[in-house]
Amino acid sequence: MNPLAKKYLRPSQIPTKACHGCGIGMIENWLLQAIDELGLKQEDVVFGTGIGCVGRQTFATWGGDNFGATHGRALAVATGIKLAQPERRILVVVGDGDAASIGTSHLIHAARRNLGVTVICEDNMGYESTGGQFSPTTPAGYVTNSSPYGMVEPSFDPCDVVKAAGATFVAETTATQWHQTVKVVKKALQNDGFSFIHVRFPCNENFGAYALGTRDTLKNLEWIYEHTQGRKADGSETDFTWETGIKHDASNSRPEFTRLLREMNARVQSDLADKMAARA
Amino acid sequence: MPPPSELVAPWVEWERRVTKGRRLLEAGTFALTEGAIAAGCRVFAGYPITPATDIAEYMSKRLPQVGGYYMQAEDELAGMHMCAGASLGGLKAMTATSGPGYTLMHDAYGWSITNEIPLVVVDAMRVGPISGITGAPGQGEFYIARYASHGGNFETIVLSPSSVQEAFWLTIDAFNLSERFATPVTILTDQVVSDMWEDLFIPDDYAGLDFVVPRRTNLTMPFFPVGSDAIDVPPNIIGRGTGVCVSAYTHTEEGYDIEEMEAQWAQTHRLVNKIRHHRSELTRYETVGMDDADVVAVAYGADARTVKTAVLEARARGLRAGFVRPITLWPFLDDLFAVDRHYVVCELNYDGQLVREVMRAAPDSRKVHFMGKSAELHTVGEVLAALDGVARTGRIPELPYIWTEVR
Ligand SMILES: Cc1ncc(C[n+]2csc(CCOP(=O)(O)OP(=O)(O)O)c2C)c(N)n1
Ligand code: SF4
């Protein structure tokens, strides 16, 4: 068995029910590598997920404490947990639907507050567990099961959104960038504030099959690789390019949200004590 | 001779025990807030809405003083989920809203019920549908509060106060029950009880209230005692490295998702029977004149105040009238309606909600009369006329703005 899996995962819950060749397991492996390289233990990290392939296939695989929120609400739940357990790292692993569609308002406001959580948005460019409909991150023009004539809506970049909202660490990678991903996850986990990492990966079953015309993992990964490089294997330019890397790094530059609340409480309580003393 | 009356609620005894305190003139929203603080609530997460906004404001002032956290959430979905997260993290939590926000809380309800998370939800009802009239009372959430989530397979606990003082004690009670039954408990209050100012006694020393059920934490398997109906099981905690798993799906004892008939059965057994089998722990009501009454007026919340006055007046005029005010709305107190007599059910909606449960519980549904009104409390005169009409002719006479048809 993979030694990282042995160290951090829950034997009864792996392997997951993810399809053969799916990128979800691979990315989780990278997350474990980052956690391990930082010397974190199981009890240091609370693992939170949403609904969808990304959520369901990773929920309860983590050997420590896990929560799987309803669709879109993982960050709202994480906010409550962080109030009560400020010392814990909260790793929220969600899909593009969870983060960039149904739960976007929680994402934006968690970023605005600089809540101390690390969000990994594993983006397969669609709603895959419901069978491959387009999502707000599906590239325009691409065919999915609910855009049979091509995706009409423009897509958006969740990194831009969280950066504008006030996130203190923002990075983007793809499933073809192992070391890069481990590096940015480590940086994200060292930021005492809101960190967001956007990782694109191929869904072979749906996005691959309908948008790209193949369920072959290697072909799908190749498509991701080409769009990361901006060049196809034959040297021609791709239809668009993802800019990967660190998008914004203001780590530890402003106070984590729950710390601000605790500081306010200390101030209020000491003022109150002074008042009581003056009255006595 | 005053008619025999009865108040069955734990705070009858609490009031006798707590002698040191302050007498104030305060609002219902203040009482709900102080009740929560007294019960040990340390997180409030919600979104402002009339007539629950004042609870949020009071909380924003009070919580930091006691080391708690006020969260102004981005919406009510977030608010209740934040409460659920905080409670999972080990802090008692509450949210408060009104109808439009209440509707948004359903997935948080389902999640909290399934995962046995103690917390308290206040719904200060106003007249609807939807935004209705902001400053007018309604009682349209009787059923929604019971069926607070889709999917079925659960029971819920819903309580309703009818005075400022009662709002204080009942909030402590709601927190206690949420801890003991490990589930969200709903306080259905209304615009009148929320906004009204009345005498309020609050104890000096909250820390000394020995009837407050403290938060305990379960640190070992089973995390979910599926298949068991036990209450007083300590709730789970996230963040202490117990390995607990909490999700939206049907779960095993460990909290893992599972798609099996057996697991579905065991989980349902737990969620339903921990409440059904301990109904006697949940009995709270007030009655007047039940020994000899031929016709009984039924009402809850603020509306019960004018209805009770009408019953006392009717008795003074020689009518054998009685009064029932369920404080526990769910599980429904069927036993209060076991005797075969006329029941006049007063509630603040025109569709008829409480009345349907009384019809089901009473021996003869033809003797259950509906007296629906909307946006204003029933007047004493209206209820007197109804009691008199039912006593004499078996029917409620026609009255302006009163709806009597149920089906
Ligand atoms: C409130 C709600 N709406 C819809 C669904 C149905 N649903 C389940 S997963 C999903 C899409 C998930 O997409 P994403 O977050 O991108 O995850 P993926 O499956 O692609 O990994 C939807 C729409 C749901 N479970 N809850
Ligand atoms: S449907 Fe797609 S995203 Fe979901 S497990 Fe299969 S390959 Fe992975």
pLDDT tens across B336-355, in order? 999 999 999 999 999 999 99
B205 touching A (Cβ < 8 Å): no
Question: How many angstroms separate the CA atoms of A63 and A89, rounded?
Answer: 14
Say if ligand 1 is within 6 A of residue A104 CB: no
**Is the pLDDT confidence value at B38 over 90?**
yes
Closest CA to B170 of B183, B153, B157, B181: B157
User: What stretch of H or E contains A10?
Assistant: none
Q: Nearest ligand to the C-alpha of residue A122?
A: 1
CB A114 within 8 A of CB A256: yes
SS3 A89: strand
- C-beta atoms of A261 and B69 within 8 A: yes
Residues of A in contact with B45 (CB under 8 A): 79-80
* Closest CA–CA distance from residue B211 to any residue of chain A (Å): 24
pLDDT digits (tens, 9 = 90+) for B52-69: 999 999 999 999 999 999
Angle (nearest 5°) at CA B208 between B207 and B212: 80
pTM of the model: 0.98
- C-beta atoms of B245 and A106 within 8 A: no
Say if ligand 2 is within 6 A of residue A204 CB: yes
- C-beta atoms of B239 and A85 within 8 A: yes
Residues near B209 by beta carbon (within 8 Å), at least 6 away in sequence: B14, B18, B38, B172, B203
Say if ligand 1 is within 6 A of residue A214 CB: no
Strand partners, A46: A65, A90
Residue B337: how many CA atoms within 13 Å on its side-chain side?
26
Which pLDDT value is given to residue B265?
98
Taking the centre of ligand 2 as the mean of its atom positions, its distance from the CA of residue B379, in whole angstroms, is 62
Q: Residue B146 is encoded by which pair of tokens?
A: 């019971």
CB B345 within 8 A of CB B370: yes
* Closest CA–CA distance from residue A79 to any residue of chain B (Å): 6
Strand partners, A89: A45
User: Along the 280 residues of chain A, how does pLDDT read in single tens digits?
Assistant: 899 999 999 999 999 889 999 999 999 999 999 999 999 999 999 999 999 999 999 999 999 999 999 999 999 999 999 999 999 999 999 999 999 999 999 999 999 999 999 999 999 999 999 999 999 999 999 999 999 999 999 999 999 999 999 999 999 999 999 999 999 999 999 999 999 999 999 999 999 999 999 999 999 999 999 999 999 999 999 999 999 999 999 999 999 999 999 999 999 999 999 999 999 8
Say if ligand 1 is within 6 A of residue A128 CB: yes
Q: Nearest ligand to the C-alpha of residue A131?
A: 2
Residues of A in contact with B110 (CB under 8 A): 70
Say if ligand 1 is within 6 A of residue A127 CB: yes
**Is the pLDDT confidence value at B407 over 90?**
no
- Among B45, B89, B255, beta carbon nearest to A85: B89
CB B120 within 8 A of CB B178: yes
- C-beta atoms of A60 and B111 within 8 A: no
User: What's the DSSP call for residue B196?
Assistant: -
